[in-house]
Chain A
């Protein structure tokens, strides 16, 4: 009996040590800067450590740029970015992922998180509308939303539970067409990738993605009367390991400097 309980106890202890070692390794690597007065105030210069930001895949380019600027403005702070489908990120946060900030591509996924009490008072910081992306050669000669419903036109969409998928379906609803895609991708970047690889004839993505892809895809504008938009809320999570840093990053995104980066990438004002 003694042997067994000792074995269990030492085993459990080992697991705890291993887990603690894993989870503390990344923040400790970044706290090489003066950490004096970490919790004494929220003024610039008192921030330190790592700010972990979970952001929608469509924010990949802009948030990477914003994180660099934020780090430059706050020496000693490292921003760790995790991009993915908003629905995936919401699930990860609800499962206890150690995030400081959540920036979602739809109010729906934000509500999932705030609904569980993991955060409160999200602020909408931008909006995004949809555009058709086709390979530069436009193999299926797609010129309008209606063309996507034609048989023989291979279309990639995001899954319906992902904001870009839901918003694309809203566009089809307004255009009164039914599109049968060949694939439902996990997030907007993989939908765009299928277009860039020329494996599909068209994909419905955000205007910001078409802009970011440059000459690798061709954009076909969706008229305003049938276009749909999704709003992007951001929030500091209640259990943020670095609450001060999280709030500062959120403020930065909402600041004039942050908004100009987002505006230049094609996002519209909320």
Chain B
């Protein structure tokens, strides 16, 4: 990316809407910084309820990312490397949570894993497990919403990675699992990392599915976005302070992913 050429002046028909887009996207975030209760920030953020919500958020997002890696990477491999009838449909269906409104996802989770749900009723009557209103429920809601981000990223990387190395390993007698572990994973490493970070960030910001499926209770299911929503009704300053924490996390994610996103096009 060195030796960038000198560009001609940007035509006004492009500059005007582009400027507007920048203002539209950045003004709300800048406004948050302007209105932030800076002098009371320490007090607002050291509140034990805030720390509880923050810890819960970080733990749940991390657990959801681990679950997404364990389940999503094998699925991405199946989507990228195999072929069977209905594969295209399967790919569309498993990425559906990307498009479905999270609150709909939460309701769907309730109907599947709730106490009265299609599967949940057996979990309850056979094992005494009820998932709604538990921290496990939060992790499930976040995984449901965030895993497709990982799947899409990793599948794209697998599709564009060099098959020659894998074929060479196969001709030398390596098993498919060995090839996956020793060749494929290292090849797609950077994409895997980016996908995991994206997945983690999405899980951290999850709101709709969480409040619908896991409810809202401090310490067990009230994550940061839920705490922001709650605080907005009683203490808007606290809501801004909490939002700033999430904004800082988002900026950190951007810094981690900057090489990937600032590069034109996206390869492995």
Residue numbers of A with Cβ under 8 A of B are 3, 6-8, 10-11, 14-15, 85, 87-88, 91, 154, 156, 159, 161-162, 181-186, 194, 197-200
Contacts and interface: CB of A to CB of B under 8 A. Distances in A.
A198 B115 contact: yes
B255 to A, nearest CB: 29
A197 B109 CA distance: 12
Contact of B115 (A85, A162, A181, A199): A199
A194 B12 contact: no
A91 B232 contact: yes
Contacts of B216: 159, 183-186
Interface string B203-218: 0000000010001111
Nearest to B111: A197
A162 B233 CA distance: 9
Interface size class of B (residues with CB under 8 A): 20 to 34
B23 interface: yes
Contact of A181 (B211, B217, B234): B217
B23 A11 contact: yes
A7 B116 contact: no
6 contacts: A11-B16, A85-B233, A91-B232, A184-B230, A186-B229, A198-B114
B133 A183 contact: yes
Contacts of A159: 216, 230, 233
A14 B20 contact: yes
A7 B215 contact: no
Main secondary structure on chain B at its contact with chain A?
A: helix
Contact of A91 (B17, B130, B236): B236
Nearest to B116: A198
A197 B110 contact: yes
B170 to A, nearest CB: 50
B132 interface: yes
Residue among B19, B133, B218, B233 with max Cβ neighbours from chain A (10 Å): B233
Contact of A87 (B12, B116, B220, B233): B233
A198 B117 CA distance: 10
B12 A6 contact: yes
B15 interface: yes
A8 B19 contact: yes
Interface string B1-40: 0000000010010011101100110000000000000000
A88 B115 CA distance: 29
Contacts of A199: 110, 114-116, 132-133
A113 to B, nearest CB: 13
B116 A197 contact: yes
Given A91-B236, A197-B116, A199-B115, A183 B217 contact: yes
6 residue pairs, one from A and one from B, having the closest CB atoms: A183-B215, A11-B20, A182-B133, A87-B233, A198-B116, A7-B16
Contacts of B19: 7-8, 11
A156 B215 contact: yes
Given A15-B24, A91-B232, 5 more contacts: A3-B15, A7-B15, A7-B19, A8-B19, A91-B233
B233 A11 contact: no
A83 B23 CA distance: 32
Contacts of A161: 230, 233-234
B110 A183 contact: no
A10 B236 CA distance: 34
B221 interface: yes
A7 B10 CA distance: 11
B132 to A, nearest CB: 5
B215 A194 contact: yes
A156 B23 CA distance: 42
Contacts of A8: 19
B217 A10 contact: no
A154 B15 contact: no
Contact of A182 (B16, B211, B215, B230): B215
A197 B216 CA distance: 16
Given A7-B16, A7-B19, A197 B114 contact: yes
A115 to B, nearest CB: 15
A154 B133 contact: yes
Contacts of B114: 197-199
A154 B132 CA distance: 11
Nearest to B222: A184
Contacts of B12: 3, 6-7
Contacts of B9: 3
A140 to B, nearest CB: 11
Interface in B99-115: 110, 114-115
B117 to A, nearest CB: 9
Contacts of A186: 211, 216, 229
